[in-house]
Amino acid sequence: MEDAARESIVSIQVDHVTKRFGTFTVLDDVTLHVQTGELIALLGPSGCGKTTLLRILAGLERPDHGRILLHGDEVTERRITDRRVGFVFQHYALFRHMTVTENVAFGLSVLPHAQRPSPGQIRKKVHDLLSLVQLQAMADRYPNQLSGGQRQRVALARALAVEPKMLLLDEPFGALDTKVRKELRRWLRRLHDELHITSILVTHDQEEALEAADRIVVLNQGHVEQIGTPDEVYENAATPFVYQFLGDVNVFHGRIAQNETVPKETHRQPPAERDSSDEHEVTFVRPHDLELSRSRTTTTQLEATVRLIIIAGSRVRLELMSKDSSQIISVELTKERYRELRLQQGDIVFVHPKQLHVFKMPGPSSM
């Protein structure tokens, strides 16, 4: 019950925010509400405006139009220092002439005299934060004596030291290698579950967003494409862009027939009143939503030839070529299914989708 009450408190409100750099519109009328204690991922390709939105929230940029409200107070014109946000930069932005301890203590040591904790209190706080990010042993090192992952943890501890009301992370793991990135992503998620600090994570890595966030905001060319839980945006993409951005997808121009037994296809966009020539239908199917069989069971199945088999860990990826349109179709199978089918290169298989989405696209069909 209490959780539900807390969840309903909106802590960050982005209200019709527009930002232009010269003639280029970076953010186009973006509206977004973030609940207290939530971890939101801003996901999108580079240049979609996600970092700009984050910087506007922090007060590092000013919107041309629109308002920012933090806990109900308008802060659009307020100074950065008064907003109480923690910001974590992609390239750490640590003070390289200060030790780890001095870096973490920075936010406390610049407080006005009256609010500044005593040196003893600062020392204790820094120690606590360093144990939170598991870096007690590195307290006296300088940033360039640390690995990338360690540096980013120092940056996080430094941001948390001032007890921010929200934490903004700008591609925090973007400069790290895959393994460290995955570890830190999970660690961040656990940390968030512990601290419940309202957080916004900017990323272009869909896997990172799907794994770490409570909700995902997909941005494209300055506008919000979709907001939803990771499962929602992945399974029920609102637009073709979201579909393509979140994971691999097969695109079929025109409508492909669907097996009777599978769930009803979902129209996300309003169905056209009549078939006009400046619209065409495009079908999206994820590789793991395609089912293969050795023999034709219904007339609607696509006939295709196996061109390539890639066994990657527990999954098997196949590249098929459809017989009618010579289109390349990628399929993902579990290893068991692959063994059952006993597929070889050059085999003829029959494909049918278990789940698909049809979108109406402007412009005549290109195929």
Partner 1 sequence: MALVLKQPSVLPGFGLTLGFALFYFSLIVLIPLSGLIVKTTTLTWQQFWHTVTEPRAMASYQLTFGASFLGALINGFFGSVVAWVLVRYHFPGRSIVDALVDLPFALPTAVAGIALTAIYSSNGWIGSYLEPLGLKVAFTPLGVLVALTFIGLPFVVRTVQPVLQDLDKEVEEAATTLGANRWQTFRAVIVPELWPALLTGMAMAFARSVGEYGSVIFIAGNMPLKSEITPLLIMTKLEQYDYAGATALGVVMLVVSFVLALMINLIQWWSGRRHTAS
Find the shortest distance in angstroms from Cβ 90 to partner 1.
8
The reply on whether position 142 binds partner 1 by CB under 8 A is: yes
Of these, 10, 60, 180, 341, which contacts partner 1 (CB under 8 A)?
Answer: 60
Of these, 42, 159, 219, 256, which contacts partner 1 (CB under 8 A)?
Answer: 159
Of these, 134, 145, 293, 365, which contacts partner 1 (CB under 8 A)?
Answer: 145
The reply on whether position 80 binds partner 1 by CB under 8 A is: yes
Question: Residue 112 or 313: which CB sits closer to partner 1?
Answer: 112
Q: What mask, x for binding partner 1 by CB under 8 A, covers residues 338 to 367?
A: ------------------------------
Find the shortest distance in angstroms from Cβ 103 to partner 1.
9
Question: Residue 199 or 258: which CB sits closer to partner 1?
Answer: 199
The reply on whether position 86 binds partner 1 by CB under 8 A is: yes
Find the shortest distance in angstroms from Cβ 267 to partner 1.
44
Question: Residue 81 or 293: which CB sits closer to partner 1?
Answer: 81
The reply on whether position 93 binds partner 1 by CB under 8 A is: yes
The reply on whether position 169 binds partner 1 by CB under 8 A is: no
Place of tokens 């506007």: 56
Of these, 10, 69, 139, 162, which contacts partner 1 (CB under 8 A)?
Answer: 162
226: tokens are: 């979709």
Return the range that interacts with partner 1 (CB under 8 A); candidates 118-126, 154-162, 238-246, 314-322.
154-162
Find the shortest distance in angstroms from Cβ 94 to partner 1.
8
The reply on whether position 286 binds partner 1 by CB under 8 A is: no
3-state secondary structure the chain: CHHHHHHCCEEEEEEEEEEEECCEEEEEEEEEEEECCCEEEEECCCCCCHHHHHHHHHCCCCCCEEEEEECCEECCCCCHHHCCEEEECCCCCCCCCCCHHHHHHHHHHCCCCCCCCCHHHHHHHHHHHHHHCCCHHHCCCCHHHCCHHHHHHHHHHHHHHCCCCEEEEECCCCCCCHHHHHHHHHHHHHHHHHHCCEEEEEECCHHHHHHHCCEEEEEECCEEEEEECHHHHHHCCCCHHHHHHCCCCEEEECCCCCCCCCCCCEECCCCCCCCCCCEEEEEEECHHHEEEECCCCCCCCEEEEEEEEEEECCEEEEEEEECCCCCEEEEEEEHHHHHHHCCCCCCEEEEEECCCEEEEEECCCCC
Of these, 158, 181, 192, 352, which contacts partner 1 (CB under 8 A)?
Answer: 158
Question: Residue 163 or 231: which CB sits closer to partner 1?
Answer: 163
The reply on whether position 172 binds partner 1 by CB under 8 A is: no
Q: Are 26 and 20 in contact (CB under 8 A)?
A: yes
Question: Residue 107 or 149: which CB sits closer to partner 1?
Answer: 107
> Among 183, 130, 177, 182, which Cα is nearest to 153's?
130
The reply on whether position 310 binds partner 1 by CB under 8 A is: no
Burial of residue 198, with CB atoms counted within 10 A of its CB: 0-12 exposed, 13-18 middle, 19 or more buried: buried
Find the shortest distance in angstroms from Cβ 95 to partner 1.
6
Of these, 20, 47, 106, 214, which contacts partner 1 (CB under 8 A)?
Answer: 106
In the complex, the residues that contact partner 1 under the rule CB under 8 A are 58-60, 80-81, 85-87, 89, 91, 93-97, 106-107, 110-111, 142-145, 155, 158-159, 161-162
